Amino acid sequence: MSILLRPQLPMEDLSLLTLTMAAVVREGIKEYLGVETQIKWPNDILHNGRKIAGILTEVKGDMDSVDYVVVGMGINCNNNVAEELKQKATSLKTIWGKEININHLLMAITQKLEYYFHSFLNREVSEVLNINRKYSYLIGKEIEIANIKGIEKGMVVDISSDGSLIIQQENNIKKVVSGDVSLSNTYTSLSKN
């Protein structure tokens, strides 16, 4: 599902849009199915560590203003997940145990979109940030971030008020604004010491 949005905002105010849309999808699924999911910053929705949805945003405009934003939400509803992907992905049908009425799911998501997007436009994003923090798949975990600087590692400690990921590295705390995030292969639980 794709949605065309025309927020009357400067480009720098869009940093929280993807997190807003993650909250929309997460809360829409919860509303319709009662299924608890996690948000993998900034744009994936997971159930027990397996991906069920992804969100992409494409912005058209310049540094001063936004012409439009296209938000694409890909949700694994009634599909059967290929055997080789079952460790990483699942579908709502698999989780819920029966076919999903896609129209009802879209209505639930649309209702959440109206509420959270209105809040976003009014710069009232504390609820969106709280949802992203409360249902974060990454907070408290060691991660690796691939970005233009290479691969960085750290433990996720929070999501900042501007939507950045806050990570604790060996001797400092750092804000991450973008990058491909994965759980670190070097993660060891404190209980294993």
Q: Which helix (H) or strand (E) holds 151?
A: strand 150-159
Residue carrying the six token digits 């720098």: 12
41/82 same-domain check: yes
108/181 same-domain check: no
7/102 same-domain check: yes
CATH label of the domain that carries residue 174: 2.30.30.100
* Per-residue pLDDT at 14: 84
130/156 same-domain check: no
126/146 same-domain check: no
Tokens of 84: 């080789």
* Per-residue pLDDT at 149: 82
* Per-residue pLDDT at 147: 86
45/129 same-domain check: yes
Ranges under pLDDT 50 in the chain: 186-193
Q: State how beta strands 142-147 and 165-168 pair.
A: unpaired
CATH label of the domain that carries residue 118: 3.30.930.10
Domain residues for 130? 2-134
54-78: pLDDT as tens digits:
999 999 998 888 999 999 999 999 9
122/68 same-domain check: yes
**How many C-beta neighbours within 10 Å does residue 26 have?**
24
The amino acid present at 107, given as its one-letter code, is M
Instruction: Tell me the torsion sign for CA atoms 64, 65, 67, 71.
Output: positive
24/98 same-domain check: yes
102/175 same-domain check: no
12/83 same-domain check: yes
112/166 same-domain check: no
72 closest CA partner among 59, 60, 55, 53: 55
Q: How many domains does the chain have?
A: 2
156/71 same-domain check: no
Is pTM, for the whole model, over 0.75? yes
